[in-house]
Structure 1
């Protein structure tokens, strides 16, 4: 019975999350995306062994998650599902139309939120866009299809959040490498 309390706490947290997702989906997705983006960036920095945390990067990822990471996907999937319910159709629209645009937007805005000029942000997008987009297509397409096709709708946002956490670690790591090479 020693394990019952932590299990009970986890069930309560997950239950509260689902209740919030049902009652306030946009607000919940925005806040969750903010937390996941910030924690993913923090994990990336810790895994790379930096001595000092890049607080500008943490804030940029959190701000992007709060303002765009939860809201844009919310409206996009709501719209796409009004067009088609076919999992393959949703996947194709998401992978070929939404993903390229969202990746460009995220790379540009992350640089701007870190305080970089328009010129520096554009240069970062030019360096990172194609490698990030192809990696996204390569590594996330199957996971997206599984989520759309086999995961119950109630759990899809949770699964996307788990995938998103790993993606943020990857993205933050790639961006940090480009920034270090640009400085050095």
Structure 2
């Protein structure tokens, strides 16, 4: 007597997270660049909104600013057109440039990402945000002079362990998502630990 097989779950009985994950994986396979770009845009915008929300809660009612709805759009645009697509191609290049069979592949990947890509990507961020904010070249030069080096040092300090994990242990198709999730939590953490100007 043959054993009865388990019934296949009907689509209406599949939990929503399972459907979302399945859809994401299918899109990641069929349209990887677009999927990573949209994911980067969404997480960047949400991270910015959450950071603003935390910042507002920490300020007194009299000095609290209203939510800037244009700022998440700028971050979304940056994620859509830069973070997602560029990161996708960079991680593919990294796999070809330093495959796991090469001696010290993990260290090579990390050094390339930390010493060349991270500084260039940070510079690109400052330039694009300056343009999206409608500021001029003088403003960009001032921002770079005041903030670039300290931001790069913070990037090296905070992101190096995460990028080591990312370029060596995360499957290549999930590296952009991993970096986006880490960035989301990092910027949220920064907003929550920023000193309150009212104190």
What band does the TM-score fall into relative to the shorter chain? 0.7 to 0.9
Higher helix share goes to which structure? 1
Are residues 75 and 128 of structure 1, via their aligned partners in 2, closer, same or farther at CA, if it must alter by over 3 Å? same
Is residue 67 of structure 1 aligned with residue 81 of structure 2? Answer: yes
1:43 to 46, 50, 63: 50
Please tell me whether Structure 1 or Structure 2 has the larger radius of gyration of its CA atoms: 2
Unaligned runs of 5+ in 1: 178-184
Q: Which TM-score applies when normalising by structure 2?
A: 0.76
Secondary structure at the aligned position of 1:52 is classed as coil
Can you list the C-alpha shifts for 1:40-75, whole angstroms capped at 9, x where unaligned?
Answer: 111111111143122332221111111101111112
State the Cα RMSD in Å: 2.5
Q: Distance in 2 between matches of 1:80 and 1:66?
A: 21
Tell me, yes or no, if the aligned pair for 1:41 and 1:61 is still in contact at 8 Å.
yes
Q: Which aligned pairs between 1:103-122 and structure 2 lie closer than 5 A?
A: 103-122=122-141
Q: Which has the higher contact order (CA 8 A, sep 6+)?
A: 2
1:147 to 157, 161, 166: 166
Q: Distance in 2 between matches of 1:68 and 1:90?
A: 20
Q: Which TM-score applies when normalising by structure 1?
A: 0.82
Aligned to 1:181: none
Q: Distance in 2 between matches of 1:89 and 1:81?
A: 11
Tell me, yes or no, if the aligned pair for 1:31 and 1:70 is still in contact at 8 Å.
yes
Is residue 22 of structure 1 aligned with residue 29 of structure 2? Answer: yes
Q: Distance in 2 between matches of 1:148 and 1:75?
A: 13
Is residue 55 of structure 1 aligned with residue 31 of structure 2? Answer: no
Is residue 124 of structure 1 aligned with residue 143 of structure 2? Answer: yes
Give the superposition deviation at 1:136.
1.0
Give the superposition deviation at 1:157.
3.3
Q: Distance in 1 between matches of 2:73 and 2:173?
A: 30
Unaligned runs of 5+ in 2: 1-11, 57-63, 100-104
